[in-house]
Structure formats: structure tokens, C-alpha cells
């Protein structure tokens, strides 16, 4: 995820984690005009696995969420207050097994880079 500033999203992630959902997040450290450090530290304090994105890329600007290996939500949304309440954003839910598998490969590859 490129940017997380939404307290509602952070709360939902904590609630999911507390229910026993496996939550892993890759955050971009080099966010322009913002800082993900607060979200990173908050996620860590919840016990959620979080890593900084690899510096192999200029930026990790991807915005997707994999759910139970069955669905991917992908689009323009950051998990920010502005994206959720003010901006015109677009995201889709993809349930095609092959597409989900490709997103899983990308995520796992990025997770292992650090």
C-alpha cells in the first residue's frame, strides 16, 4: 500500500487481526509529502506483520488487497482519509482465480525482498 492515514482502516485492520485473520502489509516509506511512519508503528503495536517496501523500485505505488486467496481489490485507492471520503477513486473486486494467483505471486515476491 502506498499510503495509510485512515484511522478507520487502521482500526478495521486491528479488528481483523484480533479475530485471527492473517494480516500482512507492505508500506511505502518514501511517500511524497506524507509519512507512513505513524501507520507503520501503529500496525506493529497491534502485532500486525508490516514491512517497508523494497528499495529495488523507485516507489511501491501499488494499491491492492488480497482476501483469503480468493479475491483481490485493486485500484486507485490509498487507505487514506482523502481517498475514502473526498477523492474520485476507482477500485474493483477481482475473483478470477488466475488473476488472484498472479497478485499473490507479486505480493509474496515483494514480501521476500526485505
CATH number of the domain to which 58 belongs: 3.30.870.10
- Mean pLDDT on 79-87: 90
1 occurs within a structural domain: no
> How many domains, in total, are found in the chain?
1
2 occurs within a structural domain: no
As annotated, the active-site residues are 61, 63, 68
Burial of 18 (0-12, 13-18, 19+ CB in 10 A): exposed
Per-chain mean pLDDT for the chain:
94
26 occurs within a structural domain: yes
Q: Is the pLDDT of residue 114 over 90?
A: no
**pTM score:** 0.89
Print the domain residue range for 56. 7-112
Residues 46-81 as b or e (16 or more Cβ within 10 Å = b): bebebbebbeeeeebebbebbeeeebbebeebbbbe
Q: What is the pLDDT of residue 59?
A: 86
Amino acid at each position: 500500500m502506498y499510503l495509510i492515514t485512515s484511522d478507520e482502516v487502521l482500526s478495521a485492520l486491528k479488528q481483523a487481526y484480533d479475530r485471527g485473520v492473517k494480516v500482512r502489509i507492505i508500506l511505502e516509506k518514501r511517500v511524497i509529502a506524507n509519512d507512513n511512519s505513524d501507520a507503520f508503528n501503529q500496525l506493529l503495536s497491534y502485532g500486525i506483520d508490516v514491512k517497508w517496501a523494497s528499495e529495488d523500485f523507485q516507489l511501491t505505488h501499488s494499491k491492492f488487497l488480497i482476501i483469503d486467496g480468493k479475491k483481490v481489490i485493486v485500484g486507485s485507492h490509498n487507505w487514506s482519509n482523502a481517498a475514502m471520503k473526498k477523492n474520485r477513486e476507482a477500485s474493483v473486486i477481482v475473483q478470477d482465480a488466475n488473476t488472484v494467483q498472479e497478485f499473490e505471486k507479486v505480493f509474496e515476491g515483494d514480501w521476500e525482498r526485505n
